Amino acid sequence: SKESGRNTYRFFNEEMNDDAVAQVTLFSGLRRALDARQFVLHYQPQLEMGSGRLLGAEALIRWNHPDLGLVYPGRFIPVAEETGLIAEIGDWVLHEACAEAVEWRRVLGQDLAVAVNLSALQFKRGDIEKTVAEALEATGLDPSMLELELTESILIRDTESILAAVKRLKLMGIRLSIDDFGTGYSSLSYLKRFEVDKLKIDQSFVRDLAHNPEDAAIVRAIIQMAHSLGLKTIAEGVENKEVLDLLRLYRCDEAQGYHFARPLPADRFLAFAAERGI
Ligand code: C2E
Ligand code: CA
Ligand code: CA
Ligand code: CA
SS (H, E, C) 176-221: EEEEEECCCCCCCCHHHHCCCCEEEECHHHHCCCCCCHHHHHHHHH
User: Which of 60, 64, 201 to mutate for ligand 1's pocket (most ligand atoms within 8 Å of CB)?
Assistant: 60
Query: Is the C-beta atom of 44 inside 6 A of ligand 1?
Result: yes
**Res. 7 pLDDT band, cuts 50 70 90:** very low
User: Which of 47, 117, 260 to mutate for ligand 1's pocket (most ligand atoms within 8 Å of CB)?
Assistant: 117
Counting ligands in written order, which one lies closest to the CA of residue 58?
2
User: pTM (2 decimals)?
Assistant: 0.92
Q: Tell which residue, 83, 81, 97, has the closest CA to residue 39.
A: 97
Q: Using CA positions, which residue lies closest to atom 12 of ligand 1?
A: 237
Query: Is the C-beta atom of 117 inside 6 A of ligand 1?
Result: yes
**When comparing pLDDT for 33 and 25, which is higher?**
33
Long-range residue pairs from 194-197, CB within 8 A, at least 24 positions apart, any chain? 194/155, 194/163, 194/166, 195/166, 195/167, 195/170, 196/150, 196/155, 196/231, 197/147, 197/231, 197/232
Q: pLDDT tens digit string along 141-191?
A: 999 999 999 988 888 776 788 888 899 999 999 999 999 998 876 667 778
List, in sequence order, the alpha helices (H) in the chain: 2-35, 73-83, 86-108, 120-124, 128-139, 152-155, 160-171, 190-193, 203-206, 213-228, 241-249, 266-275
Q: Using CA positions, which residue lies closest to atom 13 of ligand 1?
A: 237
Q: How far is CA 271 from CA 70, 115, 239, 267, in A?
A: 21, 19, 21, 6
> Does residue 241 surpass a pLDDT of 80?
yes
Q: How far is CA 147 from CA 55, 60, 214, 277, in A?
A: 12, 13, 30, 23
State residue 67's pLDDT score: 86
State residue 184's pLDDT score: 77
> Does residue 22 surpass a pLDDT of 60?
yes
User: Which is the closest atom of ligand 1 to the Cα of 42?
Assistant: 25
State residue 3's pLDDT score: 43
State residue 42's pLDDT score: 98
Q: What is the ipTM of this complex?
A: 0.98
Query: Is the C-beta atom of 81 inside 6 A of ligand 1?
Result: no
Q: pLDDT tens digit string along 113-145?
A: 999 999 988 888 878 999 999 999 999 999 999
What is the whole-number distance in angstroms between the Cα of residue 118 and the centre of ligand 2?
A: 8
Phi, psi of 17 (to 5 degrees): -65, -50
DSSP-derived pairing of the beta strands 69-71 and 54-65: antiparallel
